[in-house]
Amino acid sequence: MDCAQDSRQSGTESGTVVGEVPVTELSNPLSIDIDTVSPECIAKTLHACDKEIFEGWGTSAGFHDTSIIDTINKVVTAISDVVQTPSKGCVVISGCGTSGRLAYLTSRRFNKFLRSQGKEECFKYIISGDNDALYSSVELAEDDPREGAKRLKEVVEGKARVVFIGVTCGLSAPFVAGQLDMCLSDLDTFTPVLLGFNHTRQARKTEMKHLNKTFHEVVKEMRKAEQEEKAFILNPIVGPEPVAGSSRMKSGTTTKILLEILSFLGITHLESPLCLGAPRLVQMYQDVCETVYRQAESLGSLAFMAKESLRNHRHLYYLGCGALGLLGIIDASECRPTYGASFDDIRGFVYGGIDGLDSRPISSALSTDDFDKEIIPKLDANDTVIIFGEEMLQRVNQRLFSCPCKRAFVTFITDKETSSTLRDKVNNSNFDLVITMDICSASDFPWLHEPQETLNKQRDRKSSGEMSLPVPPNAQTQTSENTEIQLKSLLTQLAREAAMKWTVNSTSTGAYIQLGKVYRNLMVDVRVSNAKLFYRACGIVKDICNIEEADSRSLLLRSIYGTDILSDAQTSSNTVNHIIAASETDKVVPTAIVMGLCHCPVQQARSLLDTQPNLSAVLKDFQSQTLS
Ligand code: F6P
């Protein structure tokens, strides 16, 4: 594939659903050979796929779909009602894996903003697997609808009005289904909102334990309630992931954008001093996306450094302050289920440790103090440390600069003044790579620099969609200049965070692709750690080995149980038992694929992978042998 291929070219076949595979699980035609191209080209391919977030996919207009903007505005109205009386109500955002981590990040960010305004916090988050799932994968918790409902009940105790936003990119997580189901049974208290990126007809149709209905049935009930505007479904179709099923990427980014737009407009609804509507905010994120990927060559170099560290069985460390540090932690946490990585391969650290948590405990070393104590003394020449943001650069332990490791600095500058002082500081430090992303220059965000007068005029442009939020006539006088400055600074923060997410996602994804953890655009070392991942693994084995579903399942089970002849007990056991057994075994999917392609026993497949851990290379060797 030409790495600079325009994302629109995938549109012809993609507007309709290909087979029964949901959009979020499809293979993206734009990234079909992402495993064969240079690191820079990997970044360009990620860019092509990310563009679909903004340009739509096939016949779907994505964010520009008028019904999506309309739904956004309705949810905003519901949120702003709650924000006004926080003692009575709250906004709960919930999800599993990355979706739950972004729920936390959003609630943290907007509660912080409300506090800075002297207002009461009103955002709450729920993540399946509790706070430890913020930095490590606790995938099995996703399969429990009862636990989801139980957590929701605890969180909303004493509240009479609740906007519940359940995020499940694939419209599939039972944990979220249990919560939506609970909301639907009490629509006087709850306004449930489902956020995901598949067509509703593609919602998961397998029975859920303890709920006696499928996700698809829950969605149907949501649709019914939506007709009376008592529930909402927000599902812009943004196209398949660059690595099939890796919903931390595009779906995660779209989740972040949507949650932030809803929250930003929800808390400014009545004041609206910046007069920005959803389309204008989407434009901001699109500008950031372009700015980040303009540096595809540098992103490729970053991914190459990361790959070299991991290839040498060493580590990649991200350091950052505030949300930048948290986004590093979030990126690292997803590599385990997606690429079969170990917890120590990639780790993130945040200055001052994780804040904004609910009262539930967290049990890991995640602050840059921990990094200083535990990691710095052990760094070696093959480790890579990436410092994100000038705030972190100012606070980093100077001992780092005398360590033998590789160092990179990535900064998302937001004004020219910072950039010149920064340059001096960077020049005096000792970096192998420096990347400066001017994400907030006047050319990228003209509206941030527009005088209030211009903004007032924009408010009157009713036709443009972006002005569709009602603004009271005296809004201008109600809001202080101070609030306006704080809102602009909030938007700048959000822009930096988006840039950070794209940067770390492309670093880790690029590294694991180069390490052979992706074949074509399939994650071939996915950990089989919950039902969704079990079925995804079956599909991957089926596709690559070109066999029937029953055969792929049998290969997967043989790999899980390390046997060539499955016992009756193993064959008839339920998915949960398979998942528990799989959690104790490495390289489950690669072993099954090698067995299927080479028609060899499980032990032979395992030893083949011991000598050549790069599955993509094994598969390519195999392919060229069969062709010759
Ligand atoms: O099960 C693992 C996982 O796929 C994560 O990678 C993802 O972030 C999480 O599930 C949530 O998925 P969804 O948002 O589709 O429910």
Mutate to test the pocket of ligand 1, among 532, 534, 575, 583 (most ligand atoms within 8 A of CB): 532
Pocket flag, ligand 1, residue 62 (CB < 6 Å): no
Q: Is 385 left (phi over 0), alpha (psi -120 to 50) or beta?
A: beta
Flag whether 28 is in a domain: no
In a domain, 544, yes or no: yes
- Does the Cβ of 253 fall within 6 Å of ligand 1? no
Share of the chain above pLDDT 90, in %: 71
Tokens of 81: 């009602």
Tokens describing residue 163: 């906007």
- Is the model's pLDDT at 289 over the cut of 70? yes
Is the CB of 95 inside a 6 Å radius of any atom of ligand 1?
yes
Q: Report the pLDDT averaged over residues 37-66.
A: 94
pLDDT tens-digit readout, 554-578: 999 999 999 999 999 999 999 999 9
Residue 469 counted as domain residue = no
Could you tell me the pTM of the whole model?
A: 0.90
Which of 148-162, 231-245, 373-387, 459-473 shows the lowest mean pLDDT across its residues?
A: 459-473
Q: Report the pLDDT value the prediction gives residue 450, as an integer from 0 to 100.
A: 52
Would the pLDDT of 303 be above 90?
A: yes
Q: Both tokens of residue 67?
A: 């019904």
Strand partners, 192: 164
Structural domain count, the chain = 2
Of 288, 307, 341, which one is at a domain's C-terminal end?
Answer: 288
What is the model's pLDDT at position 55? 93
Residue where a domain terminates, one of 288, 311, 327: 288
The answer to whether residue 129 is domain-embedded is: yes
Q: Is the CB of 179 inside a 6 Å radius of any atom of ligand 1? A: no
CB 127 within 8 A of CB 96: yes
Ligand 1 pocket member 139 (CB < 6 A): yes
Ligand 1 neighbour 178 (Cβ under 6 A): no
- For residues 252 and 250, give the distance between their C-alpha atoms in angstroms, rounded to a whole number: 5
Q: Is the shortest distance between the CB of 97 and ligand 1 below 6 Å?
A: yes
Rounded Cα distance between 286 and 23, Å, is 21
Question: Is 376 exposed, middle or buried (CB count within 10 Å of its CB: 0-12, 13-18, 19+)?
Answer: middle
Question: Does residue 499 have its Cβ closer than 6 Å to ligand 1?
Answer: no
| Strand partners for 318 | 348, 386
Q: Atom 4 in ligand 1: which residue has the minimum CA distance? A: 247
532 lines ligand 1 (CB under 6 A): yes
- The residue whose two tokens read 């609970």 is 182
461 Cα–ligand 1 center, Å? 40
Residue at token pair 């507007």: 15
Q: Say how many Å lie between the CA of residue 372 and the centre of ligand 1.
A: 32
166-170, 378-382, 485-489, range with the lowest pLDDT: 485-489
pLDDT at 453 over 70: no
Alpha-carbon gap, residue 328 to 406, rounded angstroms: 17
Task: Grade residue 370 by pLDDT with cuts at 50, 70 and 90.
Answer: very high
398 CA to centre of own chain = 32
Confirm whether 531 is domain-assigned.
yes
Within 10 angstroms of residue 374's Cβ, the number of other Cβ atoms is 11
* Per-residue pLDDT reduced to its tens digit, 106-152: 999 999 999 998 899 999 999 999 999 999 888 888 999 999 999 99
- With a 6 A CB cut-off, is 168 part of the ligand 1 pocket? yes
What pLDDT was estimated at residue 468? 33
Q: Which of 364, 366, 373, 365 is nearest to 400 (CA)?
A: 373
- The rounded Å distance from CA 532 to ligand 1 centre is 8
**Domain assignment present for 1:** no
pLDDT at 374: 95
Domain, as residue range, for 164: 66-288
Q: 351: closest CA among 331, 372, 377, 379? A: 372
Cα distance between residue 310 and residue 35, in whole Å: 17
> Can you give the CATH number for the domain in which 274 is found?
3.40.50.10490
Chosen domain end from 253, 288, 323: 288
List pLDDT tens digits, range 408-422: 999 998 766 566 777
**In the beta sheet, which residues pair with residue 408?**
386, 433
- Ligand 1 midpoint to CA 135 (Å): 14
Give the chain's mean pLDDT.
Answer: 87
* pLDDT tier at 489, thresholds 50, 70, 90: confident
562 is a domain residue: yes
What tokens appear for 556 in the block? Answer: 């997967």
Whole-number pLDDT of residue 9 = 30
Nearest to 408 by CA among 507, 326, 516: 507
Neighbours of 200 (CB within 10 A): 16
Q: Quick: pLDDT tens for 245-284.
A: 999 999 999 999 999 999 999 998 755 556 678 888 999 9
Q: How many angstroms is it from 215 CA to the middle of ligand 1?
A: 15
Ligand 1 pocket mutation, candidates 142, 206, 243, 253, criterion most atoms within 8 A of CB? 142
Q: State whether the beta carbon of 247 lies less than 6 angstroms from ligand 1.
A: yes
| Domain-located, residue 542 | yes
pLDDT digits (tens, 9 = 90+) for 11-33: 323 333 445 799 999 999 999 99
**pLDDT of residue 442 exceeding 90:** no
- Report residue 462's pLDDT band, with 50, 70 and 90 as the boundaries: very low
DSSP character at residue 24? G
| CATH number of the domain where residue 612 is located | 1.10.8.1080
Quote the ligand 1 centre to 600 CA distance (angstroms): 33
- Please compute the mean of the pLDDT values over residues 517-531 and round it to a whole number: 92
CA 123 to chain centroid: 20
**CA-nearest residue, atom 13 of ligand 1:** 168
Binning pLDDT at 50, 70 and 90, where does residue 346 land?
very high
Task: Give dist(CA 471, CA 268) in Å, integer.
Answer: 10
